[in-house]
Structure 1
Amino acid sequence: MIELVYQNSTADKGFKKDFFEKISNTIVKELNLKEKSLNISFNIVGENRIKELNRKYRHKNKVTDVLSFPMSDKPLRKLHATSYTPQASDFGDIFICLPFAKKQAKSENIDVERKLAQLTVHGFLHLAGYDHEKSAKDAKEMFDLEGRILNKLSVF
């Protein structure tokens, strides 16, 4: 079961908690985490906030689209289903920069909803322990899984 804590600190209130819950439930099903109790914090933020977080935690002084902060140093993808039961609030936080996502959607000629779905999946996979920056093999694995999950989201 997934428990989503949702906060939108931007002026654009068009995207609601249920939008991200639907995507998250699809991810949980695809990653076979249905029996887990996961709390995730989703934060929709502006460019100043994402830049501040990126500078503070990644030492990159620039705006980015999505940041993920796992609460556990034990990636779910590397643990057997029976060996780990997450406690409430230990999965992590996802920050999505809505203005930047809108710019990306426009430049990629896709709907903002599709872009937000992609960023949500991407951020969630990072929380689960996937990392496209480690190696080409890891990147392929993560992006292939991201694509499969996005294809399951029939609304987009």
Structure 2
Amino acid sequence: MLDLTFNNLTADKKYGIGFFKKTIGAAIKEAGLRSAGVELSINLVGEGRIRSLNKKYRGKNKTTDVLSFPLQEKLDAKALKGGILSLGDIFLSLPVAKKYAARQGVGLDYEVSFLTVHGFLHLLGYDHEKSSLEKQKMFSLQDKILNKLDF
């Protein structure tokens, strides 16, 4: 079961909750979380908001594409309360996603899914900045999930 809270704080209304349920659903399946209930929030924001969050929580006064705020430091049996795994919050900058998609020559749907999956994996504790092995594990699973979606 997926309990997804979705907030679109941008003027662009192209993306709704259904798009993110499909993307996160594929990620849940590939990450092996099928038996657990999963709850998280996805927030589409503009460049000003993502910059403000990046500065406040990471000390970086610049825009970024996606930020994840996990509720759990470590995912273990204690994190699974009442069969529900509360993961945390993902903030995704739609204007930055548009720029990255254009720069990389990919469709916006792909880029938004990519950033969503990337943020989701951070909520699960993956960290590509930790080590090259961790980076390889995270990006391998990320690619596997994205390949399950039709792009």
Q: Which residue of 1 aligns with 2:80?
A: 85
Aligned length: 150
Unaligned runs of 5+ in 2: none
- What is the identity, as a one-letter code, of the residue corresponding to 1:85? L
Q: Cα deviation per residue 1:20-58 (whole Å; 9 max; x = unaligned)? A: 000011011101101111111000000000000000000
TM-score, structure 1 normalization: 0.91
The Cα RMSD (Å) is 1.4
Structure 1 ranges of 4+ moved more than 6 A: none
TM-score, structure 2 normalization: 0.94
Contact 2:88–2:123 at 8 Å: present in 1 too?
yes
- The DSSP-based 3-state class of the residue aligned with 1:148 is helix
Counterpart residue number, 2:69: 69
* Identity percentage of aligned residues: 47
Cα distance 1:84–1:68, how it changes in 2: closer, same or farther (>3 A)? closer
- State how far apart, in whole Å, the 1-side matches of 2:4 and 2:43 are: 10
Q: Retained in 2: the 8 A contact 1:50–1:63? A: yes
Q: Which residue of 2 aligns with 1:50?
A: 50
Question: How far did 1:71 drift?
Answer: 0.6
| Mapped contact 2:37–2:85 kept (Cα < 8 A) | no
Query: Which residue identity is paired with 2:103?
Result: S
Give the gaps of 5 or more residues in structure 1: none
In the superposition, relative to structure 1, how do residues 132 and 26 fare at CA in structure 2: closer, same or farther (>3 Å)?
same
